[in-house]
Structure 1
Amino acid sequence: MARTVARVIIDALQELEVGHVFGVVGDALNPLTDAIRTTDGLEWVGCRHEEAAAFAASAQSQLSGKLGVCMGTVGPGAIHLLNGLYDAAKSRTPVLAIAGQVPLAEIGSDYFQEVDNDLLFRDVAVYRATVTSPDQMPRLLEAAVRAAIGHGGVAVLTVPGDLGDQELTQDRPARFPRTRQLTRPDEPGILQAAEIINAASKVTLLVGRGAREAREEVLALAEYIGAPMVLTLKAKEGFEGDNPYQVGQTGLIGNPAAAGAFDECDTLLMLGTDFPYRDWYPTGCRVVQIDTQEQNLGRRVPIDAGLAGDTGATLRALLPHLDAKPDRAHLDTARKHFATWRTGQQRLAEPAHDTKRWTGRLRSALDNPDHDIRPEALAAAVDAYADDDAIFTSDTGMATVWLSRFVTMHGDRRLIGSYNLGSMANAMPQAMGAQLWAPGRQVVAFCGDGGLSMLLGDLMTIKTYQLPVKLVVFDNRRLGMVKLEQEQAGLAEFGTELDNPDFAAVATALGLTGIRVTDPDTLTDSVRRAFATPGPVLLDVLTNPQEVAVPGKPTVQQGWGFAIAKVKELLQSHEG
């Protein structure tokens, strides 16, 4: 018996070892969801919003390295996938989106809910196609999957509503050869990079997620040439734990030790990173960059040597040509500076900081008169009680700042977030995907109150599937990062205040365990209780809305802007 278009697609997903398909059911998807219903090992996860479905699929792909899959039906359903798919595209992770379409004969007639999907997804997808005949399967599906996996991106396959249950006249299994090629630069490029590094006296490494599979080679390099290692946020996972060379992050979430390691180097070696913030790169030094994507070479900062290739393979070829650097002064200075900074940060994170230390009492009088909980203390408590193999997700904004500074990716911990697209509302749906991918592991979402409320409906998805995720809400009643941006620019805070509900009560009403924390003295016990409670838990912690995260290298302009903003806010409050 010949298979239908829907059956060919679902059988192929089973062959690809896809475990979950995320989406919202509806008309054009009905043949596909019915095929999922009768397929062993493949589970349909019905979300409340397609954006959450795309985020969840992207999370599974990023964690597993395999294909993530989501679906959206005709018109609005497909449109709602876009933000999550852009996040997958910017994260360079393979995701297949199946989009519904109006009946084949109605395409182009401005039919009810008709949207030109091939045009809609043009910017986000490395491959997009509309199935117009059953016998195009499985060829179009193979092309879509190969493009998504080969390019590390999004492929969109559109299936008209009357085509999914049509049978193929020439049926065959879909074929997906699986090979991975490791490339390395040619010998002249290797020798050029070696010459630059050998001539340097102080080398600093900037290490990104693209070097994660080459941890041993990167650590060996740092030891051999005595180089401090600045990590991008995405390189925390894989490089932060048990690493005697790392000095934390740079940029707005960075620290003075990383800034100093940049300022003092005469050569910067970039490994697997396309760190986008030009203002934070060191100046007056030579730069060598290694990246698998040739188009990334020199894109952010002028380079003296660019090596296109796999980080591990390239370093294995490069290391024999390097001279050892026995002088450890550059590394030791950066590490000492980093240790001093971390000690100071840990003092800020003590729950009793505002009451037991005179500096804390003074600071509290100035910026926390209501005695709200310090976000530093919340992040540090989560770090202390989370499992060594916990999977963390974080919303863009201040929640990510506190995670970056106070949560250590030691052991087998994993970390994902919208660190390239910078979307709001990603942490909770990514936690859904992560928990389904690893049902036996602890999953912790660092949620901003603005981000959580944007896709609040999918708390019901967490309840429906009884996903034991722990949602930690930094409830500062603000769009905190926007507030900070405004004040650093000398603007009074405007439009950032949020009239929040009691999120713990909302969670309880939806069938989750809700815990609300308003007293710093109960913070530690509340975090411990949240992790000890079976099933999904939402921990709603009222944090200080006036908290400021000082960058690793603050500028006079930022400080002056902040002072001006505070004066404006004070005058504004008196006028009100």
Structure 2
Amino acid sequence: MNTVSKVIIESLADYGVTHAWGVVGDALNPLTEAIRAEPRMEWIGVRHEEVAAFAAGAQAQLTGGLGLCMGTVGPGSIHLLNGLYDAKKSHAPVLAICGQVPTSEIGSSFFQEVDNDLLFSDVAVFAHTVTSADQMPQLLEQAVNAAISRRGVAVLTVPGNVGGMKLEKNIRPAGFVPPAAPAAAPLSQIDAAARVLDDAQKVTLLVGMGAREARPEILELAERLQAPMVLTLKAKESLEADNLYQVGQTGLIGNPAAAAALDEAEVVFMIGTDFPYRDWYPNGKTVIQLDTRAEHIGRRTQVSHAMVGHAGPSLEQLLPKLRTGRTDKHLASIRKQYERWQERQSKVSDPDHDRGLVGKVRSLVNNPEVFIRPEAVAAELDQKAARDAIFTVDTGMSTVWLSRFIEMRGERRLLGSFNLGSMANAMPQALGAQALDRSRQVIANCGDGGLMMLLGDLRTAVTYKLPVKFIVYNNGRLGMVKLEQEQGGLEEFGTELDNPDLSQVARAMGINSQLVTKPEDLAAAIDAALASDGAYLLDIRTNPQEISLPPKTTASDAWGFAIAKSKEAIESL
């Protein structure tokens, strides 16, 4: 017997959706019953619906397909919102199926009633309520097609009495449109860009995730232009390794060489990026921007030449139009700066750093108790993680250490809340990634504040046999907030975290774990974690005073730190 719920679940399984994430209950019961009877789809019951949305979004980003999460009536659906906003800002196609009170009670302020169509109107590209069986499968088709074609969130609300409604026996199955094929920018735009690039002596590329599928074309472009390549964090995945043109990231997590590459250029060529921080764009430059979304062009910095199209086919047409034989003066200068910066960073990441003379002097100021430096944690992971590992990372200082010390070589993948900037994303995204392939290495780089926020879903890794490795940078702080306060000359306030022993908490949840407090124990602890067959948590006590200075530190920044530290010293007397 076909019901609304059965048609929904079978159609999604036909489309290739393999997991549904959520919390069971009331209006979802017909849907979860359909999932129980569908061998191609696995139900993963989480402890908090926000985890469900983050996990579904992670799967969408990794596969390019549709992620699926569910929330039941009222509060259950509301809990999805933060993870769905992350999917929206990450352009991840996700379908959220939400429960609703019976149709006869809609509009009566019934128990737990929420207007889902209104609630999700900002986060979703499609948000509608199924009110009769006759609307199926059309509403499902509209929801999925909108999510896939617009790379966003679709919300389909199913009232409690609708999911079990019977459908006609001869109803046609749902059909979904394929994604659009990549297309090049118009030839006139390509010709105009070629003329500008040919006339310029110093070109710098600012490359984002929209160019990740065009690695050969990007590298040939950098070679043809002899241009340094500044990568956004999302572009690390396919463009960082074995790339003699890349010079890392700019912005607060970046480095001086990347900032100089932009500042010293005549022409900045933005490719597949919507890098949001306006203060880090240079002034007075000729800017070319290539993006598939016309609405992205010019909204961060003034653009002289727009190219609307996909990176790969557009660059294929652009490359033959560019002259060869350029000087490498600009590229060589920036690469030299970058290599010097990398050398300085590698010294700090050495676990024995604090034993040397320079390290001992530095430790007197910012690490007197000889905590483990977070740079050393990330550097050790980089050396020992698999070449196809999937890394997730919490927002905050954890992102800084990953961006600087973990290279995305081989088939490594990277996920984070890089556009929304939410706390607590690393653990649920790792669960989503691991469910796709339980044999692949998945490493969650968690801040202690982020992990504590959704701590209950550590148990989900045990329940569903998801062997995620949780690496906790436990500095007892909201580290990025501490940095913000001190940079502004404010005394640190409200950032200290009274954490439990997270290794014991993990053990109580059934996860193998270890507390790491000494730098000399770090390597063996990471070896043990990565070699474990099941989930494993390392509670690593890292230095709370370790900060990441931005690439361009102003006099006011330095003054702010000095004032803040003076206040803190006086308070401690």
Q: TM-score, normalised by structure 2?
A: 0.99
Residues 174-573 of structure 1 mapped to structure 2, 5 A cutoff: 174-355=174-355, 357-573=356-572
**What is the number of equivalent residue pairs in this alignment?**
572
The structural deviation recorded for 1:325 is: 4.3
Question: Residue type matched to 2:75 in 1?
Answer: P
Deviations 1:292-336 (A, max 9, x none): 000011110001101111011111111122122420111111111
The AA in structure 2 aligned to 1:540 is D
Whether 1:166 aligns to 2:165 is yes
Aligned-pair CA distance for 1:340: 1.2
Equivalent position SS for 1:247: coil
State the distance in 1 between where 2:206 and 2:435 align: 33
SS in 1 for 2:288: strand
Deviations along 1:135-182, whole A, 9 cap, x unmatched?
A: 100000000000000000000000000110111236210011314222
One-letter amino acid of the counterpart of residue 15, structure 2: L
Counterpart CA distance in 1 for 2:571 and 2:360 is 26
Summarize deviations over 1:34-58 as a string: whole Å, max 9, x none. 0000111100000000000000000
Cα distance in 1 for residues equivalent to 2:177 and 2:359: 60
For residues 519 and 185 of structure 2, what CA distance do their matches in structure 1 show? 54
The Cα shift of 1:544 comes to: 0.5
Q: Structure 1 residues 255-264 or 145-154, which shifts more? A: 255-264
Distance 1:178 1:24 in 2: 30
8 A contact 2:148–2:179 mirrored in 1 = no
SS at match of 2:95: strand
8 Å Cα contact 1:226/1:325 also seen in 2: no
Corresponding residue number in structure 2 for 1:94:
93
Q: CA deviation at 1:542?
A: 0.3
Q: How big is each residue's C-alpha offset from its partner over 1:482-522, in whole Å with a ceiling of 9 and x where there is no partner?
A: 00000001111000000000000000011000111001111
**Helix, strand or coil: the match of 1:22?**
strand
Distance in 2 of aligned mates of 1:405 and 1:319 = 31
Task: Tell me how far apart the structure 2 counterparts of residues 418 and 438 of structure 1 sit (CA, whole Å).
Answer: 21
User: Secondary structure of 1:212's partner?
Assistant: helix
Identity of aligned residues (%): 60
**Structure 1 unaligned blocks of 5 or more:** none
CA contact (8 A) 1:256 1:553 kept: yes
Amino acid at match of 1:351: P
Give the superposition deviation at 1:184. 2.1
Greater mean deviation of Cα atoms: 176-185 or 136-145: 176-185
Output the amino acid matched with 1:186: P
Whole-Å separation in 2 of the counterparts to 1:388 and 1:187: 39
CA contact (8 A) 2:186 2:308 kept: no
Write the distance in 1 (CA, Å) between the matches of 2:475 and 2:379.
17
* Distance across 2 between alignment mates of 1:74 and 1:171: 28
Query: 2:7, 2:137 within 8 Å by CA — same for their partners in 1?
Result: yes
2:442 maps to amino acid: V
Measure, in 2, the Cα distance between the counterparts of 1:533 and 1:94. Answer: 33
Shift in Å, 1:185: 2.2
Q: What do residues 348-380 of structure 1 show as CA deviations (whole Å, max 9, x unaligned)?
A: 00111001x211000001111111100001111
Please say which of residues 170-179 and 207-216 is displaced more in the overlay: 170-179
Tell me the residue number matched to 1:63.
Answer: 62
3-state SS of paired residue (1:471): strand
> Which amino acid is the alignment partner of residue 280 of structure 1?
W
Whole-Å separation in 1 of the counterparts to 2:181 and 2:524:
49
Query: Structure 1 residues 64-73 or 280-289, which shifts more?
Result: 280-289
| SS in structure 1 at match of 2:273 | coil
Q: Could you tell me which residue of structure 1 aligns to residue 147 of structure 2?
A: 148
Worse-superposed segment, 184-193 or 415-424: 184-193
Please name the residue that 1:39 is paired with. 38
* Map of 2:77 onto structure 1: 78
